[in-house]
Structure 1
C-alpha cells in the first residue's frame, strides 16, 4: 500500500462514484477499480458495497477513511517540515557564505538577503 492508493481511496469515498473519482484523479475507471480491488486484497477486507444503483462504504471502509486521512495529513506535515527546514538551511548557508566576502560587499548582500523569500 502506498500514499497514492490511499488518496485514490479517499477520493472514491468522497465522491461515492468510481467514474467521477477517476475523472478527478485523471486516471481511467478500470485502473482505479483495479487499484481499489488490490487495496482490498492487501488489507483482507471489503471496503465498499457495490451494486448497480448503490455505492457505499463498509464499516471497514469507514474506518480506513479516518485512518487514511490521518496518515496523509501526517505525510503532508512531514513534507512541509522538510520543505521549511531545507529553506531555512539554505538561507543560513547563503548568509554564511555572504559573510565570508570582503566587507565592501556585505551591505549589498544584506539587502538582497533581507528582501529574499528565503528569510
Structure 2
C-alpha cells in the first residue's frame, strides 16, 4: 500500500509535488522553460526533442505552492532562435517583472 500523500501535495504537469522545507522570502527558480501548444508557437524544424506543454498557469500554480516568488525564464532549444514565446506576456502582467539581458551585457527592463 502506497504511503499517504502529504496534505499539501499538488499535481502539476502530471507530476506530484509536496512542499519541502519553507523557502526564504524572495526564493527564485533560476531556470524555467515555458512551452505552449506548437500551433501557437511553432518549434524549430531541427529541434532535438518535442516537449509537452508547460503553460504559464501551471508554472504559477507550482511556484505558488512551493513558495517561489521570482522566476528566470530561459529560452528553450526546441524554439531554436525564435524568441517570440519568451518575449510574450506569460500571464497577468502585474505579477511578473521582466528584465532582459542583451548579449552585450546591458540590462533592460
Q: TM-score range by the shorter chain?
A: under 0.3
Q: TM-score, normalised by structure 2?
A: 0.25
Q: TM-score, normalised by structure 1?
A: 0.24
- Larger Rg belongs to: 1
Richer in strand (by share): 2
